[in-house]
Amino acid sequence: MHLKSLVKFATAAVMGTMLSTTAMAGPDDDSLIIAWGSTGPIEHVDNYVNTNRTGIWFSRMVWDQLIYREPKTFEYKPLLAESWEQLSDTVWQFNLREGVKFHNGEPFDADDVVYTLNWISNPDNGVKVQRNVNWIKEARKVSQYTVDLEMKRPFPQAFEFLSGPITIYPNEYYSEVGPDGMHKQPIGTGPMKVVSIKTAEEYVFERNPDYNWGSPKGEAQVSRMVVREIADVQTQIAELLAGGIDITADISADHVDQIGGVPGLTALQAGTMRTGYIGFDAANRSGHEPVNNLKVRQAMAHAIDRESLVKNLIRGDAGVIHTPCFPTQFGCDVNAAVKYDFDPDKAKALLAEAGYPDGFDIEFYTFRPADWAEAIMGDLAKVGIRATLTKMPYFALRDKQRNEGTTPMFLMDWGSYSMNDMSAITSHFFKKGPDDFALDDEVAAWLETGDTSSDAAVRKENYAKAIAKITGELYWLPMFNHVRNYGYNEQLNFIPYQDEIPRFWQYGWKS
């Protein structure tokens, strides 16, 4: 009797502490718990030290850019800059917004902009992604709210960078604390303030009450937000089902149906500009005879049923892509591309013509979920091409590609850093950089012209030539755009965006 009641009491006490200490998701306390994980922990919270995709959503929460790119139409709108005009081929003048304050109370003005732009464009300061900033020559203060930005050369993609990776820092704070101080306590003008950071575990934010100056980004919808880093998707789903989190963005297409069927939860798919492709070792570094043969590459292009792949595995509003870039991106002209329809008979004929009537063996590499690659291998097997899959972690695969060059065929993808300009993808891969496995002089020259001309027509013309040759020679077989799959509490107002940048502050509870 005695013992029994003691056990009962102990059980109750233990259960009580457990329940009371477990933070629950849901709309009750005007807070939001979000799981994030697929892209890995942020290396360093300072936007200019980080190269990880996870840092992109973080930077939009905490900081603002001069220019806002409307996420649906990709139009440029005022953000910290109220207006702008081009003074010459290489100089832009920005009129800044008045009355904006940083999280620490520091007022925003031309000094912050000039300081930030000059600091990041100085190579000695070690901004990790130099491409984002190395086109800036100098920023000059004209008046308290006017700034001139001089570029090293005509740079047509400038606004993509000014509305993306270039966030404005508070000059007094940053000159005092530097990148590591910014990592410990980030200070910006953005809609959310950082409360605490536990790298690789969780980031806690609260609403910035001063974000009321009519920013097109909108004010924060909840007073408090926790973003938890959970690397494992299944663990994320378990948490969602158990009510431990409100949103997950990492689930697969199959989970969308399943989670959508759970009472209280809903799920949706949203296409992104992340473009998947099969790359071939056309420069023949791997010494794989068949893949060096254009006819064989054409055979493979006709053998793979991309429509079925998209319909059954990727789903959502994903579509087959024919260009080595995403069609909304500037210069990405779908009509310029050579298209390959699904035609196994033609594939077999091409193989026979190329001298491989009985097919051949090939190694196929990817770092993505194996089922996509497996589906592709299944199609290739039907025309006699025997592919074996090697799935590797991303960094190990890139190392193999760049240093050893022993990857005859690989399924990969590129998110263009959410930039709506073809240079962010095609020029990265085909201008003889370390990721160029085609090494085509002509293509590289066209892309160079396209990247540096300030004449839109010239750019388009050169980009179109590059697209035609890349698809004609099949250096890449463009596959499909990726879809992000979201599962969330159905009481949430949820907005997905094509540029793969979650804007967490815009999510709030339906009243």
Partner 1 sequence: MLVYTLKRSFVAFLILIVVSGLTFSLSHLSADPALTIGGEQASDEDIEAIRKFYGFDRPIYEQYFSWLGRALQGDFGESYHYKQPVVDMISGRIGTTMTLGVLAILFALIVSIPLGTVAAMRPNSLIDRFALLIAVFGQALPTFWFALMMIIVFGVWWRMLPISGNTTWAHFVMPTIALGYYATPALMRLTRAGMIEVLESDYIRTARAKGLSPTSILFKHALRNAIIPVVALAAVWFGFMLGGSIVIETIFNLKGIGWLSYDALLRSDLPVVQAIVLIFASFYVVLTLLADLLNAYLDPRISVR
Partner 2 sequence: MAEAALPLRRQQTAEEILEPSPLSKLRKRIFKNYSFLIGAIILILILVVAVLAPVFEALGLIQDPYAQDLAKRLQNPFWHEKKVDPDHVFGTDKVGRDYLSRLVYGAQISLLIGFSTMIISGSIGTVLGVTAGYFGGRVDMVVNFIINTRLAMPVFLVAMAAVVAFGASLWVVILVLGLFLWDRFAVVMRSITMQARDLDYVKAARALGCSPPYIIVREIFPNVLSSLTVVATVEMANAILLEAALSFLGFGVQAPTPSWGLMLNEGREYMFFSPWLLALPGTCLFLLVLAINLFGDGLRDVTLERER
How many angstroms separate the CA atoms of 49 and 148, rounded? 25
Rule CB under 8 A: say whether 263 interacts with partner 2: no
- The three-class DSSP label of residue 388 is strand
Least spacing, CB of residue 42 vs partner 2, in Å: 22
Interface residue with partner 2, options 148, 374, 435, 448 (CB under 8 A): 374
Least spacing, CB of residue 43 vs partner 1, in Å: 5
Please, which residue, 45 or 62, has the CB nearer to partner 1? 45
Least spacing, CB of residue 131 vs partner 1, in Å: 6
Of 368, 456, 454, 453, nearest to 412 (Cα)?
368
Structure tokens given for 156: 């047509």
Q: Which residues bind partner 1 (CB under 8 A)?
A: 15, 17-18, 21-23, 40-41, 43-44, 49, 51, 128-131, 199-202, 228-232, 234-235, 238-239, 241-244, 393-396, 398-399, 402-403, 428, 433-434
Amino acid identity, residue 372?
W
Please, which residue, 146 or 252, has the CB nearer to partner 2? 252
Tell me how long the chain is: 511
Least spacing, CB of residue 112 vs partner 1, in Å: 25
Rule CB under 8 A: say whether 264 interacts with partner 2: no
Structure tokens given for 420: 């709506």
Least spacing, CB of residue 486 vs partner 1, in Å: 19
Residue 101 interacting partner from partner 2, partner 1, none (CB closer than 5 to 8 Å by kind)? none
How many angstroms separate the CA atoms of 311 and 334, rounded? 21
How many angstroms separate the CA atoms of 298 and 231, rounded? 38
Least spacing, CB of residue 255 vs partner 2, in Å: 8
Residue 485 to residues 248, 255, 259, 421: CA-CA distances in angstroms? 8, 8, 11, 24
Residue 338 has φ and ψ, to the nearest 5°, of -85, 130
Helices (H), 355-419: 370-382, 394-399
How many angstroms separate the CA atoms of 95 and 110, rounded? 9
Q: Which of residues 167-226 bind partner 2 (CB under 8 A)?
A: none
How many angstroms separate the CA atoms of 25 and 37, rounded? 18
Least spacing, CB of residue 375 vs partner 2, in Å: 5
Least spacing, CB of residue 110 vs partner 1, in Å: 30
b/e 447-474 (16+ beta carbons within 10 angstroms → b): bbbbbbbeeeeebbbbbbbbbbbbbebb
* Structural contact between residues 322 and 339, judged by C-beta atoms closer than 8 angstroms: yes
Please, which residue, 231 or 445, has the CB nearer to partner 2? 231
Strands 409-414 and 361-366: parallel
Rule CB under 8 A: say whether 238 interacts with partner 2: yes
Least spacing, CB of residue 389 vs partner 2, in Å: 5
Interface residue with partner 2, options 66, 373, 444, 501 (CB under 8 A): 373
Interface residue with partner 2, options 30, 98, 201, 254 (CB under 8 A): 254
Name the residue with tokens 């791997």: 286
Amino acid identity, residue 374?
E
Site string for partner 2, 297-336 (x = CB under 8 A): -----------xx-xxx-----------------------
How many angstroms separate the CA atoms of 163 and 7, rounded? 62
Please, which residue, 247 or 470, has the CB nearer to partner 2? 247
* Structural contact between residues 493 and 508, judged by C-beta atoms closer than 8 angstroms: yes
Least spacing, CB of residue 477 vs partner 2, in Å: 18
Least spacing, CB of residue 290 vs partner 2, in Å: 21
Choose the binding region for partner 2 from 32-40, 231-239, 340-348, 455-463 (rule: CB under 8 A). Answer: 231-239
Interface residue with partner 2, options 147, 375, 447, 464 (CB under 8 A): 375
Please, which residue, 261 or 357, has the CB nearer to partner 1? 261
* Structural contact between residues 342 and 335, judged by C-beta atoms closer than 8 angstroms: no
Residue 21 interacting partner from partner 2, partner 1, none (CB closer than 5 to 8 Å by kind)? partner 1
Least spacing, CB of residue 257 vs partner 2, in Å: 9
* Structural contact between residues 63 and 169, judged by C-beta atoms closer than 8 angstroms: yes
Beta carbons within 8 Å of 223's beta carbon, 6+ residues apart: 30, 31, 206, 207
Rule CB under 8 A: say whether 391 interacts with partner 2: yes
CA angle 184, 496, 160 (to 5 degrees): 65
Interface residue with partner 2, options 283, 389, 439, 445 (CB under 8 A): 389
Please, which residue, 400 or 503, has the CB nearer to partner 1? 400
Residue 228 interacting partner from partner 1, partner 2, none (CB closer than 5 to 8 Å by kind)? partner 1
Residue 506 interacting partner from partner 2, partner 1, none (CB closer than 5 to 8 Å by kind)? none
The angle that helices 253-260 and 233-242 make with each other, rounded to 10 degrees, is: 10
* Structural contact between residues 504 and 59, judged by C-beta atoms closer than 8 angstroms: no
Please, which residue, 200 or 495, has the CB nearer to partner 1? 200
Please, which residue, 183 or 322, has the CB nearer to partner 1? 183
- The three-class DSSP label of residue 62 is helix
Residues forming contacts to partner 2 in the complex (CB under 8 A) are 233-234, 237-238, 241, 252, 254-255, 258, 308-309, 311-313, 370-371, 373-375, 377-378, 381, 388-393, 396, 400
